[in-house]
Amino acid sequence: MNVVAFFIAMGLFVIGMWLMGTAPELTGIQAIAFFAGIMCVTLAVAIPATILGRGDGV
């Protein structure tokens, strides 16, 4: 479970960074792409903080 959650979080983080980096080049949808990137990175940080917990079995 922890490994799967890690890969999902890492994938979301990479996709979010890519979206924020390419947003200026996407004419017409810059704001949408940048906001989607922010949301992906936010979810990538929230997954380890909430789902995985502290890692000490609690």
Residue 5 lies in a domain: yes
Residue 40 lies in a domain: no
The domain of 23 spans 1-29
Question: Residue 38 in contact with residue 45, Cβ under 8 Å?
Answer: no
For residue 40, count other CB atoms closer than 10 A to its CB: 20
Residue 57 lies in a domain: no
Q: What is the pLDDT of residues 17-55, one digit of tens each?
A: 999 999 999 999 999 999 999 999 999 999 888 877 766
**Domain count of the chain?**
1
Residue 22 lies in a domain: yes
Residue 12: is its pLDDT beyond 90? yes
pTM (whole model) above 0.85: no
Residue 37 lies in a domain: no
Residue 16 lies in a domain: yes
The confidence score (pLDDT) of residue 3 equals 84
pLDDT band at 5 (very low <50, low <70, confident <90, very high): confident
Residue 11 lies in a domain: yes
